[in-house]
Structures are given as structure tokens and as C-alpha cells.
């Protein structure tokens, strides 16, 4: 079984690449982030033509998450239970479903913007709610994983130059402590193997030739419980999908399971 996560940075802009990638990669379940569309605009019909069901939590031009599966979608949860609001709205940042033998969450963790910004405090509250929401499944006997754009680099090795991010979000101690809290529920960081470079970055800014220079970050993560981790046979970042015209600034992260 092949499961992947991909921040597509607008599913409308990325649709031809997404459809081609699903066909070529043999992915069974895809967790999508940053759809940047309404639920009505989501390309469910196009995905159905390829044999994929989909569920989406999206409300407009910002945020938005989805699950795309050709092995079923059951017990769907739309939104983060107990999740905080930002400016009076619970943003569309989480969706969960059971896909065949595996239960997954697709999450798009708030960016945080700046450490002194209200969005940073919101990010930490959101992560606290995520920990509470997944704790039961994390401790259970079924393979379970939370996949998505966490907007956090777990270690200093997960950014191209730690000094470049000094004082910025994505690398602060409270954010990394939130990831430690997730690990405390029984989830482990499933790190894909690097294919070309020493470290598997998943995001590269569009500016300043960051991708050609490999000035990236590993912020698209897979956190799985023990039954999930024990089933992992391979994993990689598909750097090829970050190349060329019309690419997202994130690459898909792919995990193969024997379940």
C-alpha cells in the first residue's frame, strides 16, 4: 500500500500535474494540503475518473485539506475536534478517514507567521488540540498516521542553514516541543530516505533559486504509530515533482507499507 502527502499550493493550479502523478506513482492514498478552493471547486469528478474517491475540508482561497483514496474512505472526520479558532473561524486544516486497513489524518498546521504574532500562539494551540484528537488512534492496534504540512522542521538538520532561521518560526523550541507531544502519544517520525542529497528536504521557497541550490526544509511529515511504523517498507521524497513549470513549492512524501 502506498500512502503519500503533498502540499499542492492550489489544487486548481496543480491539477494536471496531480492527475499525472497519481497515475504514474501508483499511490493508493494521498493526503492533500493547501487546496485553496471551495468544496464545490474541488476536482472530485476528475479524480473519480482515475478511480479515486475524495473528501475535502475547504472553504475558499486559503488553506484547505483533502483525502484522495482508491482503497475506500470510511469513518470520516472533517475538521479538528476541539480545534481553536483564528479570528472567529475554525480554519479548514484537518480531515481524517479510514482507508482500507489504515487510518490517516491529513493536516495543514498553521504557519505561525512570526513568533510575536497572534498566529504563532494559535499554531501552538492548534497543535495541542491535534495531540488530543489523535491520542486514541495513536495508541490503538490499527496502523495510524498523521500526514501533512506541519510547518515545523523537527531538528536543525531539517533546514538547510539553521542560522538563516534564527528568531523565525518553524524551528522554535515550543513548536518542536509540540512535535515531542505527538511522539508522546505513541507516534514516530517516519523519515523518508534521501535519494539525491544527504537530507530529504520537502519544501523549497520559489525565490532566490532555493530549489536548484537545495536550500530547503523538511516540514512535510509522516507521524505513524507502532503498527504503522512496523509496516513501513520504504519511503522517499519525490523531488522530481518539484521541478519544472507549474510545480508546487513542496514535493510529495511517499511511504510504502506492507499491510
Annotated active-site residue 149? The verdict is yes
Q: With beta carbons less than 8 A apart as the criterion, state whether 35 and 10 touch.
A: yes
Contact between 201 and 216 under an 8 Å Cβ cutoff? The reply is: yes
Half-sphere exposure (CA, 13 Å, Cβ side) for 231? 20
Active site residue 137: no
249 annotated ligand-binding residue: yes
Asked if 19 and 46 touch (Cβ cutoff 8 Å), the reply is yes
* From 28, 52, 122, 149, the catalytic residue: 149
The annotation status of 149 as a binding-site residue, yes or no, is yes
End-to-end C-alpha distance for the chain, whole angstroms: 7
Please give the angle made by the CA atoms of 227, 231 and 171, to the nearest 5 degrees: 75
250 an active-site residue?
A: yes
108, 122, 203, 223: the catalytic one is 108
Catalytic annotation, pick one of 52, 122, 223, 250:
250
Sign of CA dihedral 221, 102, 233, 212: negative
46 annotated as a binding-site residue: no
Q: How far apart are alpha carbons 225 and 139 in whole angstroms? A: 7
151 is in an annotated binding site: yes
d(CA 251, CA 133) in angstroms, rounded, equals: 27
Query: Binding site residues for Mg(2+), as ranges?
Result: 7, 34, 149, 151, 249-250
Positions marked active-site: 108, 149, 250
Amino acid at each position: 500500500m502506498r500512502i503519500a502527502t503533498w502540499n499542492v499550493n492550489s489544487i486548481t493550479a496543480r491539477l494536471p500535474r496531480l492527475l499525472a502523478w497519481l497515475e504514474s506513482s501508483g499511490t493508493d492514498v494521498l493526503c492533500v494540503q493547501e487546496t485553496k478552493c471551495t468544496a464545490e471547486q474541488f476536482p472530485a469528478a476528475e479524480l473519480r475518473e482515475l478511480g479515486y474517491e475524495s473528501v475535502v475540508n475547504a472553504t475558499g482561497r486559503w488553506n484547505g485539506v483533502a483525502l484522495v483514496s482508491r482503497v475506500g474512505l470510511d469513518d470520516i472526520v472533517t475538521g479538528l475536534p476541539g480545534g481553536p479558532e483564528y479570528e472567529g473561524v475554525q480554519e479548514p486544516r484537518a480531515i481524517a478517514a479510514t482507508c482500507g486497513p489504515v487510518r490517516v489524518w491529513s493536516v495543514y498546521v498553521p504557519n505561525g507567521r512570526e513568533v510575536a504574532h497572534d498566529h504563532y500562539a494559535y499554531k501552538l494551540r492548534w497543535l495541542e488540540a491535534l495531540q488530543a484528537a489523535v491520542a486514541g488512534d495513536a495508541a490503538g492496534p490499527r496502523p495510524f498516521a498523521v500526514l501533512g504540512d506541519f510547518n515545523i522542521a523537527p531538528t536543525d538538520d531539517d533546514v538547510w542553514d539553521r542560522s538563516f532561521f534564527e528568531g523565525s518560526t518553524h524551528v522554535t523550541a515550543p513548536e518542536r516541543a509540540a512535535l515531542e507531544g505527538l511522539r508522546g502519544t505513541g507516534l514516530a517520525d517516519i523519515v523518508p530516505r534521501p535519494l539525491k542529497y544527504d537530507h530529504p528536504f520537502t519544501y523549497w521557497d520559489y525565490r532566490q533559486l532555493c530549489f536548484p541550490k537545495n536550500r530547503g526544509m523538511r516540514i512535510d511529515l509522516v507521524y505513524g504509530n507502532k503498527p504503522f511504523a512496523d509496516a513501513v517498507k520504504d519511503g522517499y521524497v519525490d523531488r522530481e515533482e518539484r521541478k519544472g513549470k507549474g510545480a508546487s513549492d513542496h514535493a510529495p512524501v511517499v511511504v510504502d507499507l506492507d499491510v
